[in-house]
Amino acid sequence: MFLGYPSKPREHEVPIRHIVPNLITTLSLCAGLSAIHFALKPDWDRAITAVLIAAVLDGLDGRAARMLNATSRFGAVLDSLADFLAFGVAPGIILHRWLLADSTRAGHLDIVCLAAVMTYVLCAALRLARFTASAKPHRAGQVPSRFFVGLPTPAAAAIVLIPPMLRESKFVGVELPLAIVVAHTFFIAGLQISRQPLFSFKRLRVHRRSVVPLMALVGLIVVAAIKDFWLALASLSFLYLLTLPASIVSYRRARATGQESAPPPAIVPDEPHPAG
């Protein structure tokens, strides 16, 4: 039967809880495809919103897998493929279409825009390949790192799309010069494959005295998002980028005290196979 409650588990049957994380990842994949669809129309608001939905789903699938004890190699590979589409290919298409939407930017500048976007997408693929290859099972008693190595692809997608967000903002509505947008895209592409540490906020702790100010700040962010969602999101994305110097200093201190280990190598070698 397709559904049922057998008295004994069978080899050809899979518990529903094992499928839930992969279903969430599939929804993230669909959100990435939707972002591409809206970018081709073009509908910038919906395209960027679809990328944001994919980012939310990306944060849920891993958490669901750990809560349900349903982690698997298949799920990890599927998650990387979904991330590449939603945070690599989709933002690249959005940015390329947005840059060339103005006919005055067509012509010889097309190759410059294409080079920047292609570099961003390739760096996203390289980062995800490195992350998947270096991922190791979490061991009991092991303290997770408080830092990312390089810029995570969901954050990179949000930051690289700051120029379209500022253009769609009700209060700002500014269109950055092409040279700045291209340089910004190359910079974010490089950060993805860099070995620079960046804060992982889900691992950070705050002092008790900072809880109330932090809650007030969150309230202000919510109000700002209600007034101008794109400006608020662009500001948050840029603020995260500004934490890079503080992340480097904090990481070096943690390394000096033995609280953090060295980052994984840029290229993870394969495990040696026995001869024969």
Whether 105 shows a pLDDT value over 60: the answer reads no
Please give the C-alpha separations between residue 165 and each of 1, 5, 98, 207, in angstroms, as whole numbers.
Answer: 49, 49, 11, 33
141 domain-assigned: no
Whether 30 shows a pLDDT value over 60: the answer reads yes
8 domain-assigned: no
59 domain-assigned: yes
DSSP letter, residue 147: E
* CATH code of residue 158: 1.20.120
Mean pLDDT over 141-163 rounds to 82
227 domain-assigned: yes
150 domain-assigned: yes
Tally of structural domains, the chain: 1
Res 263: pLDDT: 62
- The contacts of residue 25 (CB under 8 Å, 6+ apart) are 57, 58, 61, 75, 78, 79, 82
Res 272: pLDDT: 46
4 domain-assigned: no
Cβ(90)–Cβ(35) below 8 Å: yes
Percent of the chain residues past pLDDT 70, beyond the cut: 79
CA distance linking residue 70 with residue 97, whole number of Å: 39
Strand locations in the chain (E): 147-149, 197-199
Q: Is the pTM of this model over 0.85?
A: no
41 domain-assigned: yes
3 domain-assigned: no
Tell me the Ramachandran region of residue 196: left when phi exceeds 0, alpha when psi lies from -120 to 50, beta otherwise.
beta
Whether 106 shows a pLDDT value over 80: the answer reads no
| Full domain range(s) for residue 247 | 16-135+146-256
How many CA atoms does the CB half-sphere of 83 hold within 13 Å? 26
